[in-house]
Copies of this chain bind each other. A is one copy, B any other.
Amino acid sequence: MRNVAIVGTGHSKFGVRNDVSMSELAWEAIKEALDEAGLEQKDIEYFIVSNTGGWSSEPLPAVVIGEYSKLVPKGTVRVEAACASGSAAVKLAYDMVASGHVDIAMAIGIEKMNESPTPIVVEFIGRAGNYFWEFENFGLTFPGYYALHATAYMSKYGATEEDLCKVAVKNHYYGARNPKAQFQREITVEKCMSSRYIAWPLKLYDCCPITDGAAAVILAGEEKAKELTDSPIWIAGIGSASGTSNMSKRGTFSSLEAAVVAAKMAYKEAKINPDNPVKYIDVANVHDCFTIAELMAYEDLGFAKRGEAVDWIRNDQTYIGGKIPVNVDGGLKAKGHPIGATGEGMIAELTRQLLSRVEKDRQAPIKNGYALAHNIGGTGHYAYVTILSLSKPMR
């Protein structure tokens, strides 16, 4: 199995992007990635487009993006793993390059959610829970699903609504320092606490926004990566797992079981001790679609012990300077969550973190040279954990 490195990344401005078409938005990220890698379109041997669609009128996004970006006649496919689609695209590109079938592949994430009115978007996302039973019969939408997790977690570990708001405050703090973020302004716990309930105990500021955005990652095999760049970022391991979509069948509500499985797989491949990953990992992005999801992620990834995430957020342990900086690009909460692009957005951000290339006031200190992306689809239906490394992995 050969090593695979990231040799170029692109990241559009996230937000409400009515100023561009889907293809133009994708091109912002594709062009940046090609430029960073010093490549032209003809050098890309295969491209994978992650996009969930549904709100867009274009049924074949890979086709129109490939054509607009002059990637035709290269092979392509669209992939969907709900909100983890972007990480799935990177995983499949990783397999493809590792196999030796191609030397260079590109994962392109894109979503234009604001093409549909908000109620339609909320309904469509709701169908991506458990469509047949919980959506149709109980009207559960995503804030409702994560509210169930929040009440379970609060009841079990004594977390409060203020604790949840502190996640939002941290992520807005870093979003305010990231020019690519949808929300570039700080908030206070008071502001979050006084925002209206969406699904008790989750309030408006506990929820990530509806976002348009694109991100791209170019992967290359070891020899090609060495030709192309002096600063490759290696893929050390990827874990992926699925979980039941039925909340009624879950063994626990204070954790996402698929995330635990995926994290273990990723740690094993990356040869990182799963009992103390914080010793190795310098910076992480986790899937904070709702504030409660970030607290569960600290524990599911083994960063904090069960029930300790509350103390971590109370004591600022996931700010830069704490135990491990998390979502210092603003996270889904403030940078935004353009569903199909979120995974590539995390991986592009972490590549730049490991290379110490982000804005100074949100750059994590790089010591051990590992970074981790935790990307969830549905309410834990899909989980992908990707570990990046500054040093070449030993296979």
Which residue numbers of A lie inside 8 Å of B, CB to CB?
Answer: 1, 46, 52, 54, 57-60, 62-64, 66-67, 71-82, 85, 88, 91-92, 94-96, 98-101, 124, 127-128, 131-132, 238-246, 257-258, 261-262, 377-378, 381-382, 384
Question: Quick one: which of B46, B91, B241, B378 contacts A74, CB cutoff 8 A?
Answer: B241
A228 to chain B, nearest CB (A): 20
Residue in B closest to A249 when the chains form the complex, CB atoms? B67
| Top 8 A-B residue pairs of the complex, sorted by shortest distance between their CB atoms | A75-B240, A98-B99, A1-B100, A99-B99, A95-B96, A77-B88, A63-B381, A78-B80
Chain A facing B: main interface SS: mixed
Point out which of A73, A81, A101 has the most chain B C-beta atoms below 10 A from its C-beta.
A73
Verify A131–B1 contact, CB threshold 8 A: no
Q: Which chain B residues border A257 with CB–CB below 8 Å?
A: 73
Verify B132–A75 contact, CB threshold 8 A: no
A82 to chain B, nearest CB (A): 6
Q: Which chain B residues border A73 with CB–CB below 8 Å?
A: 241-243, 257-258, 261
Question: Quick one: which of B63, B71, B243, B245 contacts A245, CB cutoff 8 A?
Answer: B63
Verify A101–B92 contact, CB threshold 8 A: no
Whole-angstrom CA separation of A81 from B51 in the bound complex: 12
Whole-angstrom CA separation of A155 from B58 in the bound complex: 33
Whole-angstrom CA separation of A72 from B258 in the bound complex: 9
How many subunits of this chain does the assembly comprise?
Answer: 2
Given contacts A72-B244, A99-B95, whether A79 and B77 have CB atoms under 8 Å apart is yes
Verify B67–A246 contact, CB threshold 8 A: yes
Verify B58–A132 contact, CB threshold 8 A: yes
Q: Which chain B residues border A384 with CB–CB below 8 Å?
A: 75
Whole-angstrom CA separation of A132 from B56 in the bound complex: 12
Point out which of A57, A63, A239, A384 has the most chain B C-beta atoms below 10 A from its C-beta.
A63
Residue in B closest to A85 when the chains form the complex, CB atoms? B77
Q: Which chain B residues border A81 with CB–CB below 8 Å?
A: 62, 76-78
A79 to chain B, nearest CB (A): 5
Residue in B closest to A260 when the chains form the complex, CB atoms? B73
Verify B242–A381 contact, CB threshold 8 A: no
Whole-angstrom CA separation of A262 from B78 in the bound complex: 18
Verify A76–B124 contact, CB threshold 8 A: no
Whole-angstrom CA separation of A60 from B53 in the bound complex: 12
10 A-B contacts (beta carbon < 8 Å): A57-B127, A59-B127, A60-B131, A64-B131, A64-B132, A66-B242, A73-B257, A73-B258, A76-B242, A77-B80
A268 to chain B, nearest CB (A): 12
Verify B258–A76 contact, CB threshold 8 A: no
Q: Which chain B residues border A239 with CB–CB below 8 Å?
A: 75
Q: Which chain B residues border A246 with CB–CB below 8 Å?
A: 67
A289 to chain B, nearest CB (A): 15
A327 to chain B, nearest CB (A): 24
Residue in B closest to A131 when the chains form the complex, CB atoms? B58
Question: Quick one: which of B71, B95, B244, B381 contacts A101, CB cutoff 8 A?
Answer: B95
Question: Quick one: which of B72, B79, B238 contacts A242, CB cutoff 8 A?
Answer: B72
Whole-angstrom CA separation of A246 from B68 in the bound complex: 11
Q: Which chain B residues border A245 with CB–CB below 8 Å?
A: 60, 63-64, 67
A4 to chain B, nearest CB (A): 9
Verify B242–A59 contact, CB threshold 8 A: no
Whole-angstrom CA separation of A80 from B59 in the bound complex: 10
Verify B79–A78 contact, CB threshold 8 A: yes
